[in-house]
Structure 1
Amino acid sequence: MAELPEFYFRVRENGASVFRVDTENRHRRIEMHEIAMVNIRNGNIKAHGAHELTADETTAITQWMEARRALLKRRDLDDIHRTIDHLNETAHWAQSRADDEDLEDFTDRLLLAMHDLRSVLVRKKAERVNRDQSR
Structure 2
Amino acid sequence: MTSELPEFYFRVRENGATVFRVDTQNRQRRIDMNQIAVVNIRNGEIKPHGNHSLTDQEEAVIRDWMEERLTVLSTRDMDDIYRAVDYLNLTTQWAQSRASEEQLEDVTDALLLAMHDLRSVLVRKKADRLMKVRK
User: Is the structural similarity TM-score above 0.5?
Assistant: yes
Q: Secondary structure at the match of 1:33?
A: strand
State the one-letter code of the partner of 1:18.
Answer: V
**Stretches (4+) displaced over 2 A:** none
Q: CA deviation at 1:90?
A: 0.4
Tell me how far apart the structure 2 counterparts of residues 124 and 58 of structure 1 sit (CA, whole Å): 38
Q: Secondary structure at the match of 2:11?
A: strand
Map 1:1-135; keep pairs closer than 5 Å. 2-134=3-135
Unaligned stretches of 5+ residues in structure 2 = none
TM-score, with normalisation over the residues of structure 1?
0.97
TM-score, with normalisation over the residues of structure 2?
0.97
Tell me how far apart the structure 2 counterparts of residues 2 and 104 of structure 1 sit (CA, whole Å): 58
1:93-129 residue CA offsets vs partner (Å, 9 max, x unmatched): 1000001000011110111011111111111111111
Unaligned stretches of 5+ residues in structure 1 = none
Sequence identity (%)? 66
Q: CA deviation at 1:132?
A: 1.1
Tell me how far apart the structure 1 counterparts of residues 133 and 20 of structure 2 sit (CA, whole Å): 46
Q: Secondary structure at the match of 1:36?
A: strand
Tell me how far apart the structure 1 counterparts of residues 114 and 121 of structure 2 sit (CA, whole Å): 11
Tell me how far apart the structure 1 counterparts of residues 106 and 43 of structure 2 sit (CA, whole Å): 40
